[in-house]
Amino acid sequence: MNAKIEKPYINPYLGGAMLGVVLFMAYFFTGAGLGASGAISRVQTFILDIFASGHVDRVGYFAHYGGGSQNALADASIFMLLGTFIGGLISGFFNGRLKVETRRGPQITDRTRWILAFIGGVIMGYGARLARGCTSGQALSGGAVLSVGSWAFMFCVFIGGYVIAWFVRKLWN
């Protein structure tokens, strides 16, 4: 099915430098950095708006994105999200890494991995909104413009991960 051989990932410093140049261009051309979680919030509000439009109008947090006749998707961040998806697809295609599969530690089943990925996503989504940004929008972007809050946030992400890592080591090793 996939004739191409999966190429190895590039040197992390080189990858980081590429990411850094993209981040700089974001600041240079738009005045703001990169991000993903804000757009994901908009997608979520958009979906909710289809099923429970009145609810979106009543809850302040959702109304901010999709209240009234506002389209929650009419925002530049949605196009960045779309671009991120396309970019991943392009790079995956040229490096032979487009493949339907599940990446997991050797001691767990695919199903366990999926459940935990979902739970981790819920925790991540919740935390990202509380911190007003995810690893891209808050840590990466805010870090590059030296925001104090972003640096505090970034170290806390690492701390949170390291504290729990030992307890869930069976998931990954």
Tokens standing for residue 134: 């995810």
The answer to whether 70 contacts other proteins (rule: CB under 8 A) is no
Among 107, 109, 155, 170, binds other proteins (CB under 8 A): 155
Tokens standing for residue 141: 């972007």
Among 71, 82, 107, 109, binds other proteins (CB under 8 A): 82
Contacts of 78 (CB under 8 A, 6+ apart): 39, 42, 43
Distance CA 102, CA 173 (A): 15
Distance CA 49, CA 25 (A): 33
Contacts with other proteins in 100-139 (CB under 8 A)?
Answer: 100-105, 110, 113-139
Nearer to other proteins, 53 or 98 (CB): 98
The answer to whether 72 contacts other proteins (rule: CB under 8 A) is no
Among 4, 83, 107, 109, binds other proteins (CB under 8 A): 83
